[in-house]
Structure 1
């Protein structure tokens, strides 16, 4: 098994607040991480930015969010982070976006994909992201989903009863969050 992990995040900072400790631990264990942020979170995830910069623009907010996410990624040892700029609140993932996500999965060929849960009544952008990832993963297993690409299979699994000890890297999770 290759040690490549893909993290698909609805907004620029979701991945570090929800999975930063896991990502850091896996990197310490020799994994390579690639983060894909579907949006910058400029509409609904940037309250502090808009409070401090009420006369700013969406473009300026995106630049700030990108810099914050890149600094957070560097602090965890993530070497690759990409932003799709699909727009948030609402995030809409249609055929074009899901095909693009499928291609990114097939190009990177991760053995693990981390993303949002598919049932999030509080933040529908997270739910849309989780469902889009499942659609893209299913398509990635089909010959012809991306012409010329070799399909790949995934086992989708999650257990609420799985023990999850808090690793020594837990404190490192707070570094990118505080940036």
Structure 2
């Protein structure tokens, strides 16, 4: 296992692409092993284009979504992608599913984790995934859960950008320059043919966040140039030795 690892918990099989594909590719490039867990394929609620095809079935939609996600993962140089196939609309996790996720968290031992905003009235699967990420992070830290296993430390949980931030109570406190890997993220985005209507929206988001990166790094007084960026909200306090 690499010394540096990260874990993405994605409610549906496309979410990681739009919202943190740049962070994934950038950290892979910097020597991290990034693992993605897709809790569902988004086969019921996020595959409208696929369902319009004649003769479509649930299993055919799942397979199409899996292929798209695997292609996107390859474009981002992902270390590992796992599909829990728990169903969507609604997404639900029983005790065994939670323990399965805890097992992944403990195995990966991530330096940081990524998931959705804590609030999303448009898609409750998203905020449920983050609730489960927080709960399973807690379980993975418990010495009494499967005693003898290596317990989890205290990885930061970053919440990636939701679709309508003003409705999601999401306030970014971190901007990440993804300019060096934008070509990888754009290639991954174009793998998601079932949601082509989102491609240009998320390109615009990345360009707008680059503006915020430039401004917050010094703006016209010497800010660092960036063409594309991603925003994140951290959940837990960060411990530092200097500011």
Please give the TM-score of this superposition, normalised by the length of structure 2: 0.68
The answer on whether the counterparts of 2:112 and 2:157 sit within 8 Å (CA) in structure 1 is no
Structure 2 CA distance for aligned equivalents of residues 153 and 118 of structure 1:
22
Aligned to 1:26: 27
The answer on whether the counterparts of 2:5 and 2:34 sit within 8 Å (CA) in structure 1 is yes
Contiguous gaps of at least 5 residues in structure 2: 159-170, 192-243
- Give the CA deviation at 1:78: 0.8
Gap change, CA 1:58 and 1:138, over 3 Å in 2:
same
Gap change, CA 1:17 and 1:138, over 3 Å in 2:
same
| RMSD (Å), alpha carbons | 1.8
The answer on whether the counterparts of 1:2 and 1:110 sit within 8 Å (CA) in structure 2 is no
- Give the CA deviation at 1:157: 5.4
Gap change, CA 1:157 and 1:34, over 3 Å in 2:
closer
Aligned to 1:178: 190
Taking CA–CA contacts closer than 8 Å with sequence separation of 6 or more, which of the two structures ends up with the larger relative contact order? 1
Local SS of the residue matching 1:168: helix
Aligned to 1:145: 145
- Give 1 or 2 for the bigger CA radius of gyration: 2
Number of residue pairs aligned between Structure 1 and Structure 2: 178
Matching of residues 25-44 of structure 1 within 5 Å: 25-44=26-45
Matching of residues 9-158 of structure 1 within 5 Å: 9-51=10-52, 53-156=53-156
The answer on whether the counterparts of 1:103 and 1:146 sit within 8 Å (CA) in structure 2 is no
